[in-house]
Chain A
């Protein structure tokens, strides 16, 4: 029997980590992810896990220790947010290129400056090209479920890449919600033992990790890494199927909500999807054919499947909770446009920047986006494609 509980997103992640019982956790506190290593240290202090906890002096050292530990043959994880993830940036690439299946619980928070502790996606979007799998979560339940599934995806022999499991700082990391937890034994059986093929502490076969790679080999090594990332999409679906067996909960590459017959739709990431679903329900009651697509896997980006799910839509808004300063929108906007480019009848697409630095987004805000989409539909004029939602002192639309 599964366990009914009430947990915050951070508690849910810490609980998943306890159930997984990793070999090593190395972490440094940063709001809003701090609670994860705090809760976890208490598990260590109470002997509830066998983990070596390394309380490092920075996030840079956290991820560096994770690289050493995972390369040594130990299942390793950490948690961070915002500037912490930015400080890890250089080492994220090294972890991925060394094919080390480290897992990060990434609690999304705006990057400095100005300094801000609330949720947006500038941190993980800043590492989207680092070679890490990125899985996004709408709520505490998804954060918990995704974290457990991530482990099985990253360690798969066809993948062997690290992953960050993302959720919105405070909005889900600190808000307590009902959650259904899986029994310890089932989680343990699901994730299994970590038995890597090659590792530093293999007594029979020493190995060297982290070479100087010349132009004669570097390109092929990157190509192999890209293959691993491509495989992650297939593996994520296999793992989701297995996960459904122990949890009863279904996961795909993304979630399509009332999308089948939608003429206007939005694509959105993390907690705002919950708000947006309310907006969709309201407008559906008014007879409007609206829907949404919520991203789960952003890296790898399941472009073909997303295009298939969206190609019938007439007008579309990609919602970015981050700026990319390209002067034409955010990273999700760019991916969505690229995914639909080859469709013969691609929807009209606009891209909104919203909710930066934790700015609250209400149902009415999302409804206003759908209204904008209907205006495009009615007039046939797309207008400005790079828009800001609910921003003061600016036309924005």
Chain B
């Protein structure tokens, strides 16, 4: 059946409203986008790393999760879900469970790129039948906007503040999607909230229903950390995609595929300009930094075009 956003949105939500996430936060949008792809009859166990999403959706004695949910610690969502999946296999084999269960872990970039990196890598390498979803908002937002290895270059965070002798974070982003793709698991994809959410939906569906380990990296803007008007989230995501800051692509059974090539690739400044965290770049002495940034974006895009067979070396 052809994808229809309106129809998808009419499905019962698996994450109840009334949770405590900030208005305009990308994380619950990512959660709903992914879990909408779980078939209505299928059961789900959700795992979650410590972070905004966890502390705001399961504050004792209330839970926003209609499915079973487990939070263990910050750095071990991958291993925790490995255990849940192993338990399912054992109990299913013994005939103690009849229905079909799916397993999805959510972590922010802190819990995924950084402190939970080993746990994630182990879970993916062992090939547990689960999906690990990173909602990447590019910093440790829960503790108050500290840099992570997903924080974009030059971003002003509370541990990489711009100042008289600093222009924000001096390192570029770690490319986690490609790192996980190099685990050679059945499915890896990068997506965000784009147009009618078809890209996110289809990738979630594949990730959930393809047997084995799958990884989704979802750019999920944080209006507090990025400092843009809350209502502009869709515009921010569009700019991230059209500037090639956040290309939409997937790696299915080892085949790399670019899902979207902008008709007109926009300059990176278009993505940086509306965000307060890059404000210091837009002064006359710092123009060269934006040029430097553009070069890095271009290089990474060119490399990805080659990986996806859109261009030969």
Which A31-79 residues have a C-beta within 8 angstroms of B? 50-52, 54-58, 60-62, 64-74, 76
Instruction: Tell which of B66, B75, B91, B118 touches A206, judged by Cβ atoms closer than 8 Å.
Output: B66
How many angstroms between the C-alpha atoms of A58 and B63 in the bound complex? 31
Give chain B residues whose Cβ lies under 8 Å from the Cβ of A234. none
Contacts of B59 in A (CB 8 A): 211-214
A57 lies within 8 A of B68 (CB): no
Given the known interface contacts A24-B90, A213-B60, the answer about A200 and B68 at a Cβ–Cβ threshold of 8 Å is: yes
Asked whether A206 lies within 8 Å of B67 as measured between CB atoms, the reply is yes
Is B79 in contact with A64, judged by CB distance below 8 angstroms? yes
Say yes or no: is A210 at the interface (Cβ < 8 Å to chain B). Answer: yes
Residues of chain B from 90 to 135 with CB closer than 8 A to chain A in the complex: 90-91, 93-94, 96-99, 101, 118-119, 121-123, 125-126
Q: A201 near B71 (CB under 8 angstroms)? A: no
**Using Cβ atoms and an 8 Å threshold, which residues of chain B touch A24?**
83, 86-87, 90
**Which residues of B are found within 8 Å of A64, using beta-carbon distances?**
72-73, 76, 79-80, 82-83, 119
User: In this complex, what residue of A is CB-closest to B92?
Assistant: A201
B121 with A208: CB separation less than 8 A? no
Asked if A207 and B86 make an inter-chain contact with CB atoms under 8 angstroms apart, the answer reads: no
Partner of B90, one of A50, A58, A206: A50
Using Cβ atoms and an 8 Å threshold, which residues of chain A touch B90? 23-24, 50-52, 74
Residues of chain A with a CB closer than 8 A to B70's CB: 67-68, 71-72, 200, 208-210
Known contacts A73-B91, A76-B87, A209-B70: A68-B81 contact under CB 8 Å: yes
Question: Is B262 part of the contact surface with A, judged by Cβ < 8 Å?
Answer: no
CA gap between A201 and B87 in the complex, in Å:
9
Query: Which residues of chain A in 1-31 are interfacial with respect to chain B, using CB atoms and an 8 Å cutoff?
Result: 23-24, 26
Complex interface: chain A residues within 8 A of B91 (CB):
23, 72-74, 201
Q: Do A73 and B69 touch across chains, with their CB atoms under 8 A apart?
A: no
Instruction: Tell me whether B118 and A58 are in contact (CB under 8 A).
Output: yes
Decide yes or no whether A94 CB sits under 8 A from chain B.
Answer: yes
Query: Are the C-beta atoms of A212 and B60 separated by less than 8 Å?
Result: yes
The verdict on B43 contacting chain A, using a C-beta distance below 8 Å, is yes
Interface size on A, residues (CB 8 A): 43
For the complex, is B58 an interface residue (Cβ under 8 Å from A)?
yes
Given A203-B97, A208-B68, A214-B59, the answer on whether A52 and B119 have CB atoms closer than 8 Å is no
Q: Is the pair B45, A65 in contact by a Cβ cutoff of 8 Å?
A: no
- Whether A90 sits at the interface, judged by CB under 8 Å, is yes
User: A91: CB under 8 A from chain B?
Assistant: yes
Q: Is A325 an interface residue (CB 8 A)?
A: no
Q: Is B156 engaged at the interface, CB distance under 8 Å to the other chain? A: no
Size bin of chain B's contact surface:
35 or more
Residues of A within 8 A of B61 (CB): 211, 217
- Contact flag A208-B72 (CB < 8 Å), given A64-B79, A72-B83: no
- Asked if A65 contacts B79 (CB within 8 A), the reply is yes
- Tell me, in angstroms, the Cα distance from A213 to B62 when the chains sit together: 10
User: Contacts A24-B86, A50-B93; is A203 near B98 (CB within 8 Å)?
Assistant: yes
Bound together, the chains give a CA A372 to CA B129 distance in angstroms of 62
Q: For B54, what are the chain A residues with a Cβ–Cβ distance below 8 Å?
A: 210, 212
**Contact partner of A61 among B93, B96, B119, CB < 8 A?**
B119
Complex Cα distance, B90 from A23, in Å, reads 6
Most buried by A among B43, B73, B90: B90
Residue in B45, B66, B101 with the greatest tally of chain A CB atoms within 10 Å: B45
Asked if residues A67 and B60 are in contact (CB atoms below 8 Å), the reply is no
Cα–Cα, bound, A67→B73 (Å): 10
Q: Once the chains bind, are B65 and A66 in contact (CB under 8 Å)?
A: no
When C-beta atoms are compared, the residue in chain B nearest to A207 turns out to be B68
Kindly list chain B residues whose C-beta atoms are within 8 Å of the C-beta of A70: 83, 87
Please, which residues of chain B bring their CB within 8 A of the CB of A201? 45, 68, 84, 87-88, 91, 97, 101
Closest chain B CB from A323 CB (angstroms)? 28
B80 touches A67 (CB 8 A): yes
Task: Give bound CA distance, A58 to B118, whole Å.
Answer: 9
**B82 and A68 contacting across the interface, CB-CB below 8 Å:** yes
Which A residues between 193 and 231 are near B, CB-CB below 8 angstroms?
Answer: 200-203, 206-214, 217
Looking at the assembled complex, report how far the CB atom of A175 sits from the nearest CB atom of chain B, in whole angstroms.
Answer: 33
| Cα–Cα distance between A182 and B195 once the two chains are bound (Å) | 66
Do A90 and B84 have beta carbons less than 8 Å apart?
A: no
Docked complex Cα distance between A62 and B71 (Å): 16
The residue that A66 contacts in the complex, of B83, B98, B125, B126, with Cβ under 8 A, is B83
Q: Are B43 and A71 in contact (CB under 8 A)?
A: no
In the assembled complex, B21 has its CB within 8 A of some CB on chain A: no
Cβ-neighbour of A60 out of B45, B79, B99, B101 (below 8 A): B79
Chain A residues positioned under 8 Å from B43 (CB to CB): 203, 206
Chain B: which residue is nearest A206 at the CB level? Answer: B68
Contact B86 A74 (CB under 8 A): yes
Q: Which residues of A contact B121 (CB under 8 A)?
A: 57
B55 within 8 A of A: yes
Given the interface pairs A58-B118, A91-B73, A203-B97, the reply to whether A211 lies near B79 with Cβ below 8 Å is no
Which of A65, A211, A214 contacts B83 (CB under 8 A)? A65
Closest-by-CB residue of B relative to A67 is B72
A72 B122 Cβ-Cβ under 8 A: no
Given known pairs A68-B87, A72-B87, A212-B55, the reply for A54 and B75 (CB within 8 Å) is no
Inter-chain pairs besides A66-B83, A68-B70, A90-B73, 18 sampled, C-beta below 8 Å: A26-B82, A52-B87, A60-B79, A61-B79, A64-B72, A68-B83, A68-B84, A72-B91, A73-B87, A201-B84, A201-B101, A203-B43, A203-B99, A207-B68, A208-B63, A210-B54, A212-B58, A214-B60
Closest 4 CB pairs of A and B: A68-B83, A65-B83, A74-B87, A72-B87
Please report A residues at the B interface, Cβ cutoff 8 Å. 23-24, 26, 50-52, 54-58, 60-62, 64-74, 76, 90-91, 94, 200-203, 206-214, 217
21 contacts between A and B (CB under 8 A): A23-B90, A52-B90, A54-B83, A56-B122, A56-B126, A57-B118, A58-B122, A60-B118, A61-B79, A64-B76, A64-B83, A67-B83, A68-B47, A68-B80, A71-B70, A76-B87, A91-B73, A203-B97, A206-B67, A213-B59, A217-B60
Enumerate chain B interface residues (CB-CB to A < 8 A): 43, 45, 47, 54-55, 58-61, 63, 65-73, 75-76, 78-84, 86-91, 93-94, 96-99, 101, 118-119, 121-123, 125-126
